[in-house]
Amino acid sequence: MIDYLFSLEGLAVGTGLASVWFSVKERIWVYPIGLVSVGIYVYLSYVFGIYADMGINIYYVIMSIYGWYRWLQPSGSSAVKEITRSSRNEWILSIVLLLLSWLALFILLQRFTDSEIPLWDSLTTSLAIVGMWLMAEKKVEHWLFWIVTNLVSIPLYYYKGLILTSGQFFVFTLLAVMGWLQWNKTLSIGDQSNQSSLH
């Protein structure tokens, strides 16, 4: 059973890393490959008793399908959705969603599960809820939420004995920083092109 779970974890890690790499490169493959990874993590989270993470992976499945659809929608003159920055209202909504989901998940985990780490588990899940929503909308700020989610997840998974997954979140952190820089560069080039076309 341990070898089986280790193999599954390895497959989830491999497809998860590939998915984030495709996200950094702004490739649609982020979603179908990511669906494989999150599907496996639904099962592993249940087995290891990380219940909020199981819930977030179910959410990832739903948001991956939504994001796959949204990324294929034309925006402006582009044939696909373009990267944009969050507006002030989107930032406010993001923070409210983060705080409300963190509180709700913490209460649920504390009252209705045997979770040893309800505060920690609910924090990573709430950050990821916001990150995945912003990612589906192709907002550059989604990388900030992933960076914090990943940094908090490294010790969480190590503590729960999922060493490969803990290592994966370390690599995810590096990829998220790369994604943040790459997407901002893409936005800057787009801004310069727009300004040039106005002159």
Residue 193 confidence (pLDDT): 56
Residues of the chain with pLDDT under 50: 196-199
Residue 94 confidence (pLDDT): 97
Ramachandran region, residue 93 (left: φ > 0; alpha: ψ -120 to 50; beta: rest) = alpha
Domain boundaries, position 182: 2-198
Q: Are 166 and 10 in contact (CB under 8 A)?
A: no
pTM of the predicted structure, to 2 decimals = 0.84
Residue 189 confidence (pLDDT): 79
Which residue in 97, 38, 93 sits closest to 62, CA to CA?
38
Backbone angles phi, psi at 75, to 5 degrees: -140, 120
Instruction: Report in angstroms the alpha-carbon separations of 133 from 99, 143, 146, 160, 191.
Output: 15, 11, 11, 27, 24
- Number of domains, the chain: 1
**How far, in Å, CA of 160 to CA of 142, rounded?**
26
Torsion angle in degrees (nearest 10) through CA of 136, 142, 147, 149? -60
